[in-house]
């Protein structure tokens, strides 16, 4: 396993043992294509060597763009996918190799909320039976007890318990996400993996749900892994944030440290691209517009995966895979960066010049100008 040394230093004290520990997690999917005829199987490297700890009671935000592997990683954590490589420890126990049957009792500990409030609820079943499904699967309680518990759950997430017999179609998008949350909470999990839970909702409804998730965390002592592409949401809800790019973690840091002194050029570009709802700030700030598109995860770039688009890439960036480690002395121990040339807070990325071979550059967007 590569790169396992760096993140381990943070968890040597027994009481601080993380709830979840990922080491060298990889998930590759076979590509179905004509490559099979040529006899060589190709793989999508969706998640390609992730080391992360999730601590008890915290919210870990997982951000990144489409195709960075954040949702695949979430499904690996919830054991909806088997790992290609690596280990996942829950409470110190390796769950990555458990069989379906062995996994079953542990499924109560980790539950998931999905993005699509329309696709994740069976339209032909009543809300009461959807939320009560986990009780049925795990054979808990009598019918009467279940109904009572389901109604308590509905109350907990702010739904009217009298709507027990309604169908999902009778609810709005925000209410459906509440149904999803109630179902996830039914078995009193320790951890909730939320995959873009508020992305499909309008802002006023989104705010209601974010408050609900924060309240539930306080009340029930939940640990969240919160996946989103919306940086302002993740800033609001997280304790720590991990930034992913092409299947790897580029930077992980406490929220404010990430927003104020991000070290990785990709983090910097990502944060600068976020539109701010404040005209003066929008006019003042420096925006870094990345060149080209994300490379395919079937043939990820060598070395640092971001080097083909990085404004300050150097020749060795194409060769050396940078380890995820503490980048500068004044970073906190929680702040890890995978970059050979980490940035200083006052460094201007727009002035940087990459010195990578021309063949490496993905696109010539000179028409765009790098910066606005």
Partner 1 sequence: MSLLEIRDLEVSFNTPDGVVRAVRGLSFDLDRGKTLAIVGESGSGKSVSTQSLTGLSRGAHVTGSATFDGIDLLTADEHQLRGIRGARIGMIFQDPLSSLHPYYRVGWQIVEMIRAHDRSVSKRAARDRAAQLLSMVGIPHAKDRIGDFPHQFSGGMRQRVMIAMAMSVEPDLLIADEPTTALDVTVQAQVLAVMRKLQDEMGTAIILITHDLGVVAEMSDEIVVMYAGQVMERASRRDLFYRHHHPYTEGLLASLPAQGGKGTRLSPIKGTPPSSINPPDRCPFAPRCPYAFDKCWRENPLPRVVFGDLSHQSACWLSTDEATRREERARMVASKLSAEEPA
**CB 98, min distance to partner 1, A:** 33
CA atoms of 302 and 129, how far apart (whole Å)? 49
Q: Tell whether residue 289 is a contact of partner 1 (CB under 8 A).
A: yes
> Would you state the structure tokens that stand for residue 130, as one six-digit string?
């959807």
CA atoms of 224 and 214, how far apart (whole Å)? 10
Among 16, 82, 256, 286, indicate the residue that binds partner 1 (CB under 8 A): 256
CB within 8 A of 362, min separation 6: which ones? Answer: 291, 292, 293, 295, 308, 309
Half-sphere CA count of 67, side-chain side, radius 13 A: 9
CA atoms of 326 and 222, how far apart (whole Å)? 28
The residue range among 108-116, 141-149, 151-159, 287-295 that interacts with partner 1, by the rule CB under 8 A, is: 287-295
CA 339 centroid distance within chain: 20
**CB 229, min distance to partner 1, A:** 6
Half-sphere CA count of 63, side-chain side, radius 13 A: 29
Among 16, 273, 328, 351, indicate the residue that binds partner 1 (CB under 8 A): 273
Helix count (H) and strand count (E) of the chain? 11, 11
Nearer Cβ to partner 1 (138/163): 163
CA distances to 53, 144, 216, 269 from 199, rounded to whole Å, are: 25, 36, 19, 21
**CB 314, min distance to partner 1, A:** 22
Nearer Cβ to partner 1 (5/33): 33
Handedness of CA 153, 154, 156, 162 (dihedral sign): negative
Binding mask 208-237 for partner 1 (x = CB under 8 A): x-xx--x--------------x-xxx-xxx
Nearer Cβ to partner 1 (96/206): 206
CA distances to 145, 147, 148, 160, 180 from 130, rounded to whole Å, are: 15, 11, 14, 15, 9
Q: Tell whether residue 255 is a contact of partner 1 (CB under 8 A).
A: yes
Region of 278 on the Ramachandran plot (φ > 0 left; ψ -120 to 50 alpha; else beta)? beta
Binding mask 302-341 for partner 1 (x = CB under 8 A): ----------------------------------------
**CB 13, min distance to partner 1, A:** 23
Burial 343-367 (b: 16+ CB within 10 A, else e): beeeeebeebebebeeebbeeeeee
**CB 70, min distance to partner 1, A:** 12
Q: Tell whether residue 277 is a contact of partner 1 (CB under 8 A).
A: yes
**CB 260, min distance to partner 1, A:** 11
Strands (E), the chain: 20-30, 43-54, 59-63, 85-90, 93-94, 110-113, 191-195, 223-228, 240-245, 248-254, 336-337
CA distances to 127, 243, 264 from 60, rounded to whole Å, are: 30, 11, 18
Among 145, 170, 293, 319, indicate the residue that binds partner 1 (CB under 8 A): 293
Among 118, 188, 282, 299, indicate the residue that binds partner 1 (CB under 8 A): 282
Tell me which residues in 162-181 interact with partner 1 (CB under 8 A).
Answer: 172, 174
Nearer Cβ to partner 1 (120/228): 228
Nearer Cβ to partner 1 (210/352): 210
Nearer Cβ to partner 1 (136/363): 363
Q: Tell whether residue 270 is a contact of partner 1 (CB under 8 A).
A: yes
Nearer Cβ to partner 1 (102/365): 365
**CB 294, min distance to partner 1, A:** 8
The residue range among 5-13, 70-78, 136-144, 362-370 that interacts with partner 1, by the rule CB under 8 A, is: 362-370
Contact residues toward partner 1 (CB under 8 A) are: 59, 65-66, 172, 174, 202-208, 210-211, 214, 229, 231-233, 235-239, 255-256, 269-270, 272-280, 282, 287, 289-290, 292-294, 362-365, 367-369, 372
């Amino acid at each position: 396993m590569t790169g396992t040394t760096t993140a381990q230093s943070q968890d040597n004290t027994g009481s601080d043992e993380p709830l979840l520990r990922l080491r060298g997690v990889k998930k590759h999917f076979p590509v179905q294509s004509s490559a099979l005829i040529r006899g060589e199987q190709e793989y999508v490297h969706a998640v390609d060597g992730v080391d992360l700890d999730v601590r008890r009671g915290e919210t870990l935000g997982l951000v990144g763009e489409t195709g960075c592997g954040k949702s695949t990683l979430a499904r690996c954590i919830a054991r909806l996918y088997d790992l290609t490589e690596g280990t996942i420890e829950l409470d110190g126990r390796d769950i990555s190799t458990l069989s379906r049957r062995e996994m079953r009792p542990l499924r109560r500990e980790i539950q998931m909320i999905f993005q699509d409030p329309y696709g994740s609820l069976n339209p032909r079943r009543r809300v009461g039976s959807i939320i009560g499904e986990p009780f049925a699967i795990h054979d808990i309680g009598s019918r009467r007890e279940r109904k009572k518990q389901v109604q308590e759950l509905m109350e907990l997430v702010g739904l009217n318990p009298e709507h027990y017999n309604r169908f999902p179609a009778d609810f709005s998008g925000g209410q459906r996400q509440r149904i999803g949350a109630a179902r996830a909470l039914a078995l009193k999990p320790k951890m909730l993996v939320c995959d873009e839970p508020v992305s499909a909702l309008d802002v006023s409804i989104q705010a209601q749900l974010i408050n609900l998730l924060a309240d539930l965390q306080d009340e029930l002592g939940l640990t969240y892994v919160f996946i989103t592409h919306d940086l302002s949401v993740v800033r609001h809800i997280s304790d720590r944030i991990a930034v992913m790019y092409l299947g790897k973690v580029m930077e992980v840091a406490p929220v404010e440290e990430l927003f104020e002194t991000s070290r990785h050029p990709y983090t910097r570009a990502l944060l600068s691209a976020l539109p701010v709802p404040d005209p003066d700030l929008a006019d003042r700030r420096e925006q870094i517009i990345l060149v080209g598109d994300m490379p395919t995860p079937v043939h990820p770039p060598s070395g640092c995966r971001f080097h083909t688009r990085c404004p300050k890439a150097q020749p060795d960036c194409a060769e050396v895979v940078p380890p995820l480690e503490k980048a500068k002395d004044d970073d906190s121990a929680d702040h890890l960066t995978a970059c050979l040339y980490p940035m200083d807070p006052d460094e201007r990325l727009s002035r940087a010049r990459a010195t990578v071979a021309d063949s490496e550059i993905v696109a010539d967007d000179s028409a765009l100008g790098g910066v606005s």
